[in-house]
A = this chain, B = another copy of it.
Amino acid sequence: MKQKQVACSFGLVVGLWLGAFFARAARADEGMWLYSAPPRDAIKAKYGFTLTDAWLEHLMKSSVRFNSGGSGSFVSADGLVITNHHVGADDLQKLSDEKHNYLADGFYAATPADEKKCVDLELNVLQSTEDVTARVNAGVPSGATGEIAATARRKVMAEIEKESREKTGLRSDVVTLYQGGAYHLYRYKRYTDIRIVFAPEQQAAFFGGDPDNFEYPRYDLDICLLRVYENGQPAKIDHFLKWSKNGTKEGELTFVSGHPGGTDRQLTMAELSVLRDTEFPYIVNRLKRVEVLLKNWSDRSAENSRRAHENLFGVQNGRKALDGEQAGLYSPALMDAKAAQEKSFKAQLGERADGAEVRAAFDRIAEAAQAQAKIYKRYRLLEAGHAFLSDSFHTARVLLRAGDERPKPNGERLKEFGDARRESLELDLFSDKPIYADLEILKLGDAFTLFAENAGYDDPLVQQVLAGQSPRERAAALINGTKVRDVAFRRQLYDGGAGVVTAAKDPMIELARLVDAEARALRKQWEAADETNQQAHAIIEKAHFALEGLARAPDATFTLRLSYGPVKGYEEAGKKIPAYTTFAGLYERNAEQKNKEPFELPPRWLDKKSALKLDTPLDFVSTEDIIGGNSGSPVVNSAGEFVGIIFDGNLASLVLDLAYEDVHARALSVDSRGILEAMRKVYGVDALVNELLNGKR
């Protein structure tokens, strides 16, 4: 469960319970709350617990964002960070080669000198937030709409970010909240020297593989430990979480602090229709085609499988999540409830002074959504790069656009080239991660085919892109011909600027150039519609605030949020699903599946069975409101202690993208007790266990 790769497999479960639920009025413990507006009263009223500022600040500063898409937390004063194995997997993959497969085989650094530096990982720790809504809106000329307003808004946001970056030295991002209802400035401490300390074998972390992904009961030790360095030394960390040896009891209140990637709960019915009728049919089927492509290639040899591994996992994970969200979009129970909410809100407006304006805002959103629907596929193909799927193309485009964008004034650049984001961009651009030409050709050839299928083979741009060759021939020629996989070449072009980029005549960069005019034009149209949409949502949200106060958390935006809820089992098809699983259950499932992939256990797990206290809790479920991006989020008790780590949601949770429920949807965590037990008895990493328990090395 990672950012933008949200939610249940083909609605196997979804259909069965949605009916009963979504008609309810009460929202239970809904909400991925802003730290700046936590639901103090609701928690106090329901659980008798008072959120203090100190408690919040400590948890906020202990929470870590993985820019590769995930969450984590500090768990020692010496910079130790815990996240999910499937979040760290990206880094384990990049450090592996034909001879070392840290992803499959695990990793442990017995001494600091053995800790391995991640290739291009950036971690962010939120330090403060500030409401800049007024300044952002003031930057947009009164009455301006569409492209003009979008340009003005981007400019003022870039100014705010740059000013903050220069003043504080912190990474500074202006975040759009409530679909445009508010703009907040987020300031992060940024770490880029991150080293791997410990990872179990992937089979222990992701026991059950794709078939059991988003399922429960589960038995996954989905953890990975890294250490943050500054100036070549382990970073000294003031805010880290105390490890709980005792874990939780069923019914106990817990909190999740992490970075949910994105939700669609505040979309209007008109926007949801576009999602349902235009976006999902394209995007879900595209993921499935890429899955088949990578799976088939992986199965040809162990080395292919190693190379494509993280890519394939991401695709499968995304496919299952989107399948689940799609089931929600096709669920009358869910969608009728949402339609009723929208209708009731409009009715509430009644004779209010802003009623007409708000109703008109709904119409403008519908128009903007339709405008985006019209260009949706081509926008995805050309600007999101679906037609050119490969790391080589991505890099080539960054080089091309860097040449064009960097000479412009900060506020006029494409967002990702803003001064405040330069360091992160360069970290990515100059990454020395391995890129495999064979896998690149495979993906690019299929992407060209996708382009031809969707745009039509006779489309002039398709013909120019293919240049008289078949998709596969053309992909091979480009990947074998480009030099962008050479970091020194990239640096030379980036430093040299547009002239040097042009003079290089690199075939992949020339491909990026060929499609750039149309890609940029589509982006402009897209962002103009986004602007219209945000202006309209701002009007609607204002009415919401007026009518309901701060009753709703904003949709998720891969920024830090707080959720809460009890540890709690549930029922599925009349069967009681207990809140906790244990090591005993792991061995039972392994035996039932005859130790066959993806249910096999690493040899040491089979050897060490007798050493383990088998009734130790391994995973558990709770009702927190989470979504993809929350992977790796710490689960804490009311004392703020680390009691577990989010690693997934169950199938029923996959519609949380659209609406919250707590009857069947559950957040899945690894238990702090299970982690200790496995680290001690299976891995014998006692020094690390002591660091967790003592909070320092």
Contact = CB atoms under 8 A, between A and B. Distances in A.
A470 interface: yes
Given A12-B472, A288-B289, A472-B14, A449 B296 contact: no
Nearest to A211: B299
A283 to B, nearest CB: 11
Contacts of A319: 292
Range of interface residues on chain A? 35 or more
Contacts of A15: 445, 469-473, 476
Contact of A11 (B19, B331, B470): B470
Interface stretch (A450-458, A560-568, A622-630): A450-458
Contacts of A280: 453
A446 interface: yes
Nearest to A215: B300
Main SS class of interface, A: helix
Contacts of A596: 302
A597 interface: yes
Contact of A18 (B212, B468, B470): B470
Given A15-B473, A597-B597, A449 B292 contact: no
A250 interface: no
A209 interface: yes
Interface in A489-538: none
A299 B471 contact: no
Given A210-B296, A292-B288, A299-B209, A332 B470 contact: yes
A327 B288 contact: no
Copies per assembly:
2
A165 interface: no
A9 interface: yes
A476 B13 CA distance: 11
A593 interface: yes
Interface in A292-330: 292-293, 295-296, 299-302, 319-320, 326-327, 330
A638 interface: no
A330 B300 CA distance: 25
A469 B593 CA distance: 34
Contact of A470 (B209, B273, B333, B597): B333
Given A211-B300, A296-B211, A472 B10 contact: yes
A277 interface: yes
A95 B406 CA distance: 69
Nearest to A212: B300
A471 B292 contact: no
B470 A330 contact: yes
A24 interface: no
B281 A471 contact: no
B442 A10 contact: yes
B454 A281 contact: yes
A469 B299 contact: no
Contact of A472 (B11, B301, B446, B598): B11
Contacts of A302: 593-594, 596
A285 interface: yes
Nearest to A474: B15
A476 B598 CA distance: 28
Interface string A594-606: 1011100000000
A598 B291 CA distance: 18
A540 to B, nearest CB: 24
A16 interface: yes
A470 B10 contact: no
Interface in A269-294: 273, 276-277, 280-281, 284-285, 288-289, 291-293
Contacts of A471: 11, 15, 327, 330
A456 to B, nearest CB: 6
A14 B596 CA distance: 36
Interface in A141-156: none
Contacts of A468: 332
Interface in A606-628: none
Interface string A207-219: 0011110000000
A299 B210 contact: yes
Contacts of A598: 299
A621 B373 CA distance: 50
- A18, A276, A472: most-surrounded residue (chain B CB, <10 A): A472
A94 B60 CA distance: 59
22 contacts: A9-B296, A10-B446, A10-B449, A11-B472, A12-B442, A15-B472, A15-B473, A210-B296, A210-B299, A211-B300, A212-B300, A276-B457, A277-B456, A277-B457, A291-B292, A292-B319, A302-B593, A327-B449, A327-B471, A330-B466, A332-B469, A333-B470
Given A10-B446, A15-B472, A327-B449, 11 more contacts: A10-B449, A14-B472, A15-B471, A15-B473, A277-B457, A285-B289, A288-B289, A296-B320, A330-B449, A332-B468, A333-B470
User: Which 4 pairs between the two chains have the least Cβ-Cβ distance?
Assistant: A15-B473, A15-B472, A281-B453, A211-B299
